[in-house]
Chains A and B, each alone.
Chain A
Amino acid sequence: MKLDQTDKKIIQLLGADARMSNNQMAKVIGVTEGTVRNRIQKLIENKIIKISVINNINRMENPSVAFVGLDVETRSKDSVAKALSKMKEVRFVSTLIGRHDLMVFILAEDVTKLSKVLYEDISSLPGVRFSESSIGLKYYKYDYRWARILD
């Protein structure tokens, strides 16, 4: 789907405030409310955008974030990635071209939970050979407006 300036402006406005009304957007952009409504519908249908709620990580008492590089047996890469994707605490899973076979981001409620995910759940998956973890200490930037939209 090719985006025009109206689409891009709608995405920009929704990115700043997803509760902005279609009427408000229409006035800002200089189009009708119906145009805005139709464009949003098409953007969602074509998986260009997804509208969801963002939770503040600080709602958790002691959130722990880990970035984990995994080395896995080549034939197990897909099955390990799918198993990881089913874990609630795992927020991002991707195959990699680079230093590891898979990259995983984990967000756990606390260090105890993080430890369980790392050393019990992930380590016990068939095909996992080695993991290298980095623990998040301080967040400087987190732009949540770009993500891979999956089914």
Chain B
Amino acid sequence: MNVVSGIQDIEILCATQSLHQTKIFLDKTLPSIVGIKSIAPAIASNVYKFETDWTPFANEA
């Protein structure tokens, strides 16, 4: 989860175990957070590359 500059304020990459969980996250969990004005969701349909060998460490994030 990152604060970004651009057309959005925050970018989130989330993984859920089912479409139902995605629906709950988008329809209930996110809108319940105070301050969220709008969301622009998109679903990854086919992942070509996913490298996670460089990350911010938790205590420095």
Chain A residues engaging chain B, CB cutoff 8 angstroms: 52-58, 65, 67, 69, 81-82, 84-85, 90-100, 103, 105, 107, 132-142, 144, 146-150
Known: A90-B49, A95-B44, A96-B45. A142 touches B4 (CB 8 A): no
* B43: A residues at CB distance < 8 A: 96-98
Known: A55-B53, A55-B55, A97-B45. 12 other contacts (CB 8 A): A57-B54, A57-B57, A67-B4, A67-B11, A81-B48, A91-B49, A95-B45, A99-B40, A103-B44, A144-B52, A148-B47, A150-B47
Known: A57-B54, A136-B2. A142 touches B61 (CB 8 A): yes
B6 lies within 8 A of A140 (CB): no
A95 lies within 8 A of B57 (CB): no
Known: A97-B42, A99-B40, A141-B61. A133 touches B52 (CB 8 A): no
B48 lies within 8 A of A85 (CB): yes
Residue in B3, B51, B58 whose beta carbon sits within 8 Å of that of A92 in the complex: B51
A139 lies within 8 A of B56 (CB): yes
In the complex, residue of chain B having the shortest beta-carbon distance to the beta carbon of A132: B7
Interface residue B15 (Cβ < 8 Å from any Cβ of A)? yes
* A146: B residues at CB distance < 8 A: 15
B23: min CB distance to chain A, Å: 14
CA distance A149 to B7 in the complex (A): 30
B48: min CB distance to chain A, Å: 4
Interface residue B35 (Cβ < 8 Å from any Cβ of A)? no
* A95: B residues at CB distance < 8 A: 44-46, 48
Scan residues 3-47 of chain B and give those whose CB is less than 8 A from a CB of chain A: 3-8, 11, 13, 15, 40-47
Known: A91-B51, A92-B50, A148-B50. A140 touches B44 (CB 8 A): no
